[in-house]
Amino acid sequence: MKNGIPESQPNNPLHGVRLDFMLDTLVDHFGWSGLGKIIKINCFNINPTRKSSLTFLRKTDWARKKVEDLYLEVASRED
């Protein structure tokens, strides 16, 4: 381990960041309606819940990728 980053993943900014943390961060930042406008998927727009959204995102690679990309964008602005 070097500078707190495991050597096996030194260039992966998402290493160690859980999907639930990413979702919570985005919901805190945008709210469900704002997140649903940015990433147009039903789990954010129709009766959104944390549980249903995480279930969908864990099963759907393309949707998870969109959440990861948006999280990285938001996280880079906050640094």
Q: Is residue 13 part of a domain?
A: no
Domain of residue 68, residue span? 19-78
Q: Could you give the number of structural domains in the chain?
A: 1
Q: Is residue 49 part of a domain?
A: yes
Query: How far, in Å, are 17, 35, 68, 75, 76 from residue 7 at the CA level?
Result: 16, 33, 21, 22, 22
Reported pTM:
0.83
Condensed to tens digits (0 to 9), the pLDDT of residues 39-78 reads 999 999 999 999 999 999 999 999 999 999 999 999 888 7
Looking at the DSSP assignment, which residues form a beta bridge with residue 5?
Answer: 2
What is the DSSP track for 35-62? HHHHS--HHHHSS--HHHHHHHHHH-HH
- pLDDT over 80 at 8, yes or no: no
Q: What is the CATH number of the domain that holds 66?
A: 1.10.720.30
Q: Is residue 4 part of a domain?
A: no
